Amino acid sequence: MAQWNNDKELFALVKERLYTPVVGDILDGLGCYHQFLPQDVRSLRGDMKLVGRAMPVLMIDVYGPQKKPFGLLTEALDQLEEDEIYLATGGTKRCAYWGELLTATARTRKAAGAVVNGWHRDTPQVLEQNWPVFSCGCYAQDSSVRTQVVDFRCPIEFGDVWVNPGDIVFGDIDGVLIIPQKYETEVFEKALEKAAGEKVVRKAIEGGMTATAAFAKFGIL
Domain co-membership, 137 together with 213: no
Domain co-membership, 87 together with 190: no
Cα-Cα end-to-end distance for the chain: 25
What is the distance between the alpha carbons of residues 60 and 64, in angstroms, rounded to a whole number?
A: 13
Mean pLDDT of 117-129: 98
pLDDT in tens, 158-204: 999 999 999 999 999 999 999 999 999 999 999 999 999 999 999 99
Domain containing residue 16: 1-35+186-221
Domain co-membership, 98 together with 174: yes
Domain co-membership, 58 together with 93: yes
Look at residue 26 in the predicted model and tell me its pLDDT.
98
| Statement: residue 1 has pLDDT above 90 | no
Domain co-membership, 173 together with 116: yes
Look at residue 85 in the predicted model and tell me its pLDDT.
98
The region of weakest confidence among 47-61, 130-144, 207-221 is 207-221
Look at residue 122 in the predicted model and tell me its pLDDT.
98
Look at residue 175 in the predicted model and tell me its pLDDT.
98
Q: Which of 179, 182, 134, 208 is nearest to 36 (CA)?
A: 179
Look at residue 50 in the predicted model and tell me its pLDDT.
98
Q: What is the b/e burial string over 176-200, where b = at least 16 CB atoms within 10 angstroms of the residue's CB?
A: bbbbbeebbeebbebbbebbeebee
Look at residue 188 in the predicted model and tell me its pLDDT.
98
Q: Cα 93 to chain center, whole Å? A: 18
Mean pLDDT of 128-148: 98
Domain co-membership, 196 together with 156: no
**Helix or strand holding residue 21 (H, E):** helix 20-29
| Statement: residue 221 has pLDDT above 90 | no
| Statement: residue 53 has pLDDT above 80 | yes
Q: How confident is the prediction for the chain on average, in pLDDT?
A: 97
Find all residues with CB under 8 Å of 102, minimum gap 6, and list them.
Answer: 73, 77, 86, 114
Mean pLDDT of 101-114: 98
What is the distance between the alpha carbons of residues 172 and 193, in angstroms, rounded to a whole number?
A: 19
Number of domains making up the chain: 2
Domain co-membership, 86 together with 21: no
Mean pLDDT of 28-48: 98
Which domain CATH number covers 138? 3.50.30.40
Mean pLDDT of 103-121: 98
Q: How confident is the model at residue 2 (pLDDT cuts 50, 70, 90)?
A: confident
Domain co-membership, 72 together with 163: yes
CB atoms within 10 A of CB 117: 24
> Is the distance from CB of 50 to CB of 14 less than 8 angstroms?
no
Angstrom distances, CA of residue 134 to CA of 20, 30, 192: 14, 26, 24
Domain co-membership, 8 together with 81: no
Domain co-membership, 135 together with 157: yes
Domain co-membership, 111 together with 209: no
Q: Counting beta carbons within 10 angstroms of the beta carbon of residue 97, is it exposed (0 to 12), middle (13 to 18) or buried (19 or more)? A: buried
Half-sphere exposure for 131 (CA within 13 Å, toward CB): 25
What is the distance between the alpha carbons of residues 213 and 221, in angstroms, rounded to a whole number?
A: 11
pTM for the whole thing? 0.95
Mean pLDDT of 71-90: 98
Q: Which of 206, 194, 155 is nearest to 28 (CA)?
A: 194
Domain co-membership, 45 together with 132: yes
